[in-house]
């Protein structure tokens, strides 16, 4: 079986001395001595891209993004600092990808490490990611859950479906009360928001008798979660059930995440969704909801 782009990215980025992989904001960063030189980002906020964001040398971003827009772009957030976005699924040679990653590594690495690299790793073209791998919400399971949520949530007064950070959400007026989230990093060590997953560089991995691809491992199927507001007080006893987690970023506001990757109890989901809806809905919505029940 051909290697995936995920494995090829790791083979390139971990081929440099003292490189470590750290999961940050849901995606792998590759660092040397604490400094990030590359980020592997797939479908960031629903943009559909399979890309590397590289801490490129000065002038690279302007040159490549203008001369070869098919293969390069200005990435969000880090673009203003000169980082370069590299499309990995639009035909760019992987030897060019490896050379660009090397430039990014050399920019941030201590001189002694940069000078010890040797020849750039040779990479065979990997297998492309499937549409479901790029966007897990296109999977059959996700579409089944999505259809159920639409039937449920859109039956309540003044509910609209929208997109937030690339994920479908349902709003009571302007307030989000349900969120369907796909976490493609759930199967990776540290992918639950622990924050860090360090890996040896290729030289260290090979010295231990392991290939880079094998040391990286394969990712599990993406985890599907539903987010609901339940209140901070309810979080502690709900997380006693392994299906529930406190989600990052919004958990401190009283949200809970329910794992529906393999099973969805729609009676339970309805109760959680309705409670969340009632928390955010305006009085006129609640009156309409009550009238419909009557």
> Mean pLDDT, consecutive 10-residue segments, the chain of 294 residues?
85 96 90 96 92 97 96 96 96 96 97 93 91 91 96 97 95 97 61 42 43 42 92 96 95 97 96 97 95 64
| CA–CA gap between residue 157 and residue 145 (Å, rounded) | 21
CA–CA distances in Å: residue 155 to residues 168, 267, 270? 16, 15, 11
CA–CA distances in Å: residue 248 to residues 57, 117, 222, 253? 33, 37, 17, 10
pLDDT at 203: 46
pLDDT at 79: 95
pLDDT at 26: 79
pLDDT at 186: 53
pLDDT at 183: 79
Please enumerate in sequence order all residues whose Cβ is within 8 A of that of 163, keeping only pairs 6 or more positions apart, or say none: 46, 169
Residue 261 structure tokens: 């990757």
Write down the pTM of the prediction: 0.79
pLDDT at 1: 52
pLDDT at 3: 81
| CA–CA gap between residue 292 and residue 288 (Å, rounded) | 6
């Amino acid at each position: 079986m051909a290697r995936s782009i995920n494995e090829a990215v790791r083979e390139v980025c971990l081929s440099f001395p003292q490189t470590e992989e750290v999961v940050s904001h849901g995606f792998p960063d590759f660092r040397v001595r604490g400094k990030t030189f590359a980020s592997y980002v797939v479908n960031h906020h629903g943009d559909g891209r399979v890309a590397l964001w590289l801490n490129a040398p000065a002038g690279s971003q302007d040159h490549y993004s203008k001369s070869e827009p098919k293969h390069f772009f200005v990435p969000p957030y880090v673009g203003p600092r000169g980082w370069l976005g590299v499309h990995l699924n639009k035909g760019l040679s992987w030897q060019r990808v490896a050379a660009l990653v090397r430039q990014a590594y050399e920019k941030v690495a201590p001189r002694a490490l940069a000078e010890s690299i040797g020849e750039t790793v040779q990479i065979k073209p990997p297998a492309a990611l499937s549409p479901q791998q790029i966007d897990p919400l296109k999977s059959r399971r996700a579409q089944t859950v999505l259809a159920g949520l639409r039937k449920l949530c859109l039956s309540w007064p003044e509910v609209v479906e929208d997109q937030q950070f690339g994920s479908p959400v349902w709003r009571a007026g302007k307030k989000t009360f349900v969120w369907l989230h796909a976490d493609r990093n759930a199967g990776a060590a540290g992918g639950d928001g622990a924050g860090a997953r360090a890996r040896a560089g290729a030289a260290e991995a090979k010295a231990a008798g392991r290939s880079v691809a094998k040391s990286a491992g394969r990712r599990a199927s993406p985890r599907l979660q539903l987010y609901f507001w339940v209140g901070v007080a309810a979080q502690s006893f709900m997380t006693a059930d392994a299906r529930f987690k406190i989600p990052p970023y919004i958990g401190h506001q009283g949200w809970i995440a329910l794992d529906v990757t393999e099973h969805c109890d729609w009676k339970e989901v309805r109760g959680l969704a309705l409670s969340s809806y009632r928390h955010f809905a305006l009085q006129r919505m609640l009156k309409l909801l009550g009238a419909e029940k009557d």
